[in-house]
Amino acid sequence: MTDSPVPRIQLNDGHSIPQLGFGVFKVDPGETERIVLDALEVGYRHLDTARIYGNEEGVGRAIAASGIPREELFITTKLWNDDQGTASVPAAFERSLDRLGLEYLDLYLIHWPTPARDRYVETWRAFEHLREGGRVRSIGVSNFLAHHLERLVDETDVVPAIDQIELHPYHQQPDTTAFAEEHGIVVEAWGPLGQGKYPLFELPEVVAAAEAHGKTPAQVVIRWHLQRGHVLFPKSNRRERMAENFDVFDFTLDDAEVEAITALEREGRVSAHPDEFN
Ligand code: NDP
């Protein structure tokens, strides 16, 4: 396997995941192939998409065009809410694989719990069957709070490998991350830069660390995630930012810098509440 500067994190199912990847939420389907090819050229080997993003085909075309051996890539997609339920999951999974042009997936996630449907437990059992079938290596969930995870732990046989949740300095979800850690579930941080909706890059704690290390504020926020143990996949349409966000393995924040950024928490959610989004 080609050398990569990106560390891998061990999952509870024996597989491992590159800690830094590239996400494609809101990447225009018509531009996805070019943007993902740029990301692969920059060095990213972990890609995060979803059926609802409408760009799985573009991700698949970029993978094919890149010529990178499949085993060097880690590809995630997600089951959308209206495909939840025992009967729908296998076909939805096959359609995503077809659009991606892949023989297998590294990680498949339930995108939201959508508790009003009350189908995430049966959907999770269908995910267990998919994994037994061998065409997906790891299974997990997204936007699950501690009490949603608890139902899966109590009522099913497989503990999710991953919970992908909104997580950035203004919204760190300590209850969910504590439950995940206790049960061996790796946390992925979506919206790791706050989706540009907060002035994270102007905060004195972030700017001071950037100046101290000769790096940019975005690199400091990414480094904070890495040192907190999160998996993350910041998105950018711009190649120079893709490179900036990947160039984070030549410095280390000290404990005081990490703690100062952790102290910025203020429950600043950018998305819907997982108990209310259906
Ligand atoms: P991010 O926190 O990654 O922020 C992306 C924004 O930050 C874009 O506007 C981008 O602009 C800008 N940006 C990126 N790099 C820099 C930089 N170095 N300096 C300044 N600005 C920068 O938000 P995302 O929502 O995209 O989250 C990342 C990924 O998480 C998604 O792409 C997706 O894969 C996943 N996700 C999952 C969700 C879920 O429900 N499971 C929900 C949302 C996201 P520009 O493109 O112009 O550079």
CA distances from 229 to 136, 146, 188, 232, 247 (A): 24, 18, 9, 9, 17
Q: Whose CA is nearest to atom 14 of ligand 1?
A: 236
> Which carries the bigger pLDDT value, residue 268 or residue 218?
218
57 in any annotated domain: yes
DSSP secondary structure code for residue 13 in this structure: T
Average pLDDT score over the chain = 97
pLDDT digits (tens, 9 = 90+) for 196-212: 999 999 999 999 999 99
The 10s digit of each residue's pLDDT in 64-116 is: 999 999 999 999 999 999 999 999 999 999 999 999 999 999 999 999 999 99
Structural domain includes residue 278:
no
Any idea what the CATH number is for the domain that residue 71 is in?
Answer: 3.20.20.100
Per-residue pLDDT at 54 exceeds 60: yes
Burial of 96 (0-12, 13-18, 19+ CB in 10 A): buried
Does 169 map to a domain?
yes
As a whole number, mean pLDDT of residues 257-277 equals 95
* Across 40-48, average pLDDT: 98
- Domain contains 257: no
Q: Known catalytic residue: 53?
A: yes
- Indicate the pLDDT class of residue 3, thresholds 50, 70 and 90: confident
| Residue 208 in domain | no
Domain membership of residue 204 (yes or no) is: no
Give pLDDT, residue 2.
Answer: 60
156 lines ligand 1 (CB under 6 A): no
Distance 100 CA to ligand 1 centre (A): 21
Ligand 1 pocket, 140 CB below 6 A?
A: no
Beta strands 16-18 and 231-232 are unpaired
pLDDT at 1 over 80: no
Which residue owns the Cα nearest ligand 1 atom 45? 236
Range of the domain at 14: 8-198+230-252
> By mean pLDDT, which of 1-5, 79-83, 150-154, 190-194 is the weakest?
1-5
Q: Which atom of ligand 1 is nearest to the CA of 241?
A: 18
Compute the radius of gyration of the chain from its Cα atoms. Answer: 18
The answer to whether position 268 is within a domain reads no
Q: How many domains does the chain have?
A: 1
In this prediction, residues 3-24 reach a mean pLDDT of 97
Q: How does pLDDT run across 100-159, given as a tens digit for each residue?
A: 999 999 999 999 999 999 999 999 999 999 999 999 999 999 999 999 999 999 999 999
Alpha helices in the chain (DSSP H): 29-42, 56-66, 89-100, 120-133, 146-155, 174-182, 204-213, 217-228, 239-246, 255-262
Assess whether pLDDT exceeds 90 at residue 262: yes
- Whether the full predicted model's pTM is greater than 0.85, yes or no, is yes
Ramachandran angles phi, psi of 74, nearest 5°: -125, 115
Q: What percent of the chain has pLDDT over 70?
A: 99
Sign of the four-CA dihedral 211, 215, 216, 219: negative
Distance from residue 220's CA to the centre of ligand 1 (Å):
15
**Does a structural domain hold residue 269?**
no
